[in-house]
Structure 1
Amino acid sequence: MRIRSDIFVSALIRRVFSAGGFAAVVQKGAEEAGAIFIRQRFRDGLESVYGPAPQTFARDDDGARRFEARLAQAEASAVDAVIAREARFDSDLWVIELELDAIGDLFEIVKPDTN
């Protein structure tokens, strides 16, 4: 069973603050199972956005949430467009904004197999 969205978000925000960064909930989604999108802002004005990884990366035994990079170091308008497109399909999504130089091990980022 996967951890609830509201609990994951709360824990993520605490971890970001303890790492010296800033985090905020920009849009609150469904508490139990809302999709979570993470928007990372950099000092140079560029942004990255991470969204839920495809189900092929899910494991039944650990309940962890995994993310994939949707855009890396792009203009804010491109990130806005990605989030708006996702919100048209799922109005219960969460948007979390981070101001942090490096993600580190705050959440798991999967890389698609290119083979």
Structure 2
Amino acid sequence: MRLRTDIFVSALMRRVFACGDFAAVEAKGAEEAGAVFVRQVFRDGTESLHAPAPQSFFDEDDSGRRLFETRLARVGAGAVAEAIARERRFDGDLWVVSIETDDLGDLIEFAGAEPDDDGFFRR
């Protein structure tokens, strides 16, 4: 069974703050089962957008995991905002979490990624 979205987002934010970085919820969606989009903000002003991975990346026994894929990598803030606006027109129950960090480390897990020797899912 998958963890409720509001609990997942709360735990994600706590982990971000524990790393000394900053996070904010830009948009709240459905508390029980809303999709989570992660807006990664870099120090140089560029941003990346990480979205829920398609169901084809999940095994039958992966019912509780949340996997992400990178939709946009190190682009301007406007491009990320446009992509989020398009997604919100399609799904008004999605969450947007903005994280200011240069390295997501082990904060979220990427589809198809294998952890490195330190256990981080780097891209």
List aligned pairs for 1:79-98, cutoff 5 A.
79-98=80-99
Deviation sequence 1:70-98 (CA, Å, 0-9, x none): 10000001001110010000000000000
Q: Identity of counterpart residues, as a percentage? A: 62
The answer for the alignment partner of 1:56 in structure 2 is 56
Structure 2: which 5+ residue stretches go unaligned? 114-123
Give the Å deviation of 1:58. Answer: 2.0
* Contact 2:36-2:94 within 8 A present in 1 as well: yes
The answer for the alignment partner of 1:11 in structure 2 is 11
C-alpha change, 1:59 and 1:2, in structure 2 (3 Å) is farther
* Contact 1:37-1:50 within 8 A present in 2 as well: yes
The answer for the alignment partner of 1:27 in structure 2 is 27
Match of 2:17, as an amino acid? F
How far apart, in 2, do the equivalents of 1:59 and 1:4 lie?
20
Give every structure 1 segment of 4 or more consecutive aligned residues whose post-TM-superposition deviation is greater than 4 Å: none
Match of 2:78, as an amino acid? S
Give the Å deviation of 1:61. Answer: 2.4
* Contact 1:3-1:65 within 8 A present in 2 as well: no
Instruction: Name the SS of the counterpart of 2:26 in structure 1.
Output: strand
How far apart, in 1, do the equivalents of 2:60 and 2:77 lie?
35
Deviation sequence 1:56-78 (CA, Å, 0-9, x none): 11234241100000100000010
TM-score by length of 2: 0.87
* Contact 1:38-1:98 within 8 A present in 2 as well: yes
The answer for the alignment partner of 2:68 in structure 1 is 67
TM-score by length of 1: 0.93
Match of 1:30, as an amino acid? A
Structure 1: which 5+ residue stretches go unaligned? none
